[in-house]
Amino acid sequence: MNAKERMNQLLLKSLDLPLSAEEQTALDQALEASAALREDQAKLLAMRQLLAKAQLEASPSFADRVMDTIKLRQRPTFTASIIRLYPKVAAACILLLLAGMLGIYLSEGNLSVDALVGVQELSIDEAYTLVDY
């Protein structure tokens, strides 16, 4: 690394980190001796000012938008409601099914497939009549 590069690095370092006494003296001397280095320093400082101006300002309405979104996301959705209701709906269906089977058992005396389907007392002629109809 030549002296010019070293001074450029020291210049950049001086903008963000503290220099040792030795480094500071070397940089001060180089700045005094070199107009180009002074120009670089001025440009870097101008650039940093430019960058600092690029910050966004506060927006009070932003907090309201965040709070609205939080409230919206906390509201239960249709799917969530269905999932929450599901155990009750499933239990009611099972009860209905059992009640139906009990009814069939009490009226037919058994739970055969014919009894469940309701064709136990259907004669073959009646079945043909139904097909023709």
Partner 1 sequence: MTASEPYLLAQARTGDQGAFRQLVLAHEARVRSTAFGMLGDESTAEDIAQEVFIKLYQNLNTFRGDSKLSSYLIRMTINHSLNELKRRKRKSRWLSWDAEQVPQLEDHAAHPDRSDTKSMVQQALKLLPTDFRTVVVLRLIEGYSVKETAQVLKLPEGTVASRLARAQKKLKTIFEQWDALVK
Residues in contact with partner 1 by the rule CB under 8 A: 9, 12-13, 15-17, 40, 43-44, 46-48, 50-60, 62-67, 69-71, 73
Structure tokens at 13: 């370092």
**Spatial distance between the Cα atoms of 91 and 4, rounded to a whole number of angstroms:** 84
Nearer to partner 1, 70 or 131 (CB): 70
Residue 33 C-beta: closest distance to partner 1, Å:
21
14-42 burial, b for 16+ CB within 10 Å, e for fewer? beeeeeeeebeebbeebbeeeeebeebbe
**Spatial distance between the Cα atoms of 114 and 68, rounded to a whole number of angstroms:** 59
Amino acid at 105: Y
Residue 45 C-beta: closest distance to partner 1, Å:
9
Residue 111 C-beta: closest distance to partner 1, Å:
52
Residue 28 C-beta: closest distance to partner 1, Å:
19
Nearer to partner 1, 71 or 88 (CB): 71
SS3 category, 120: coil
Nearer to partner 1, 59 or 123 (CB): 59
Nearer to partner 1, 67 or 117 (CB): 67
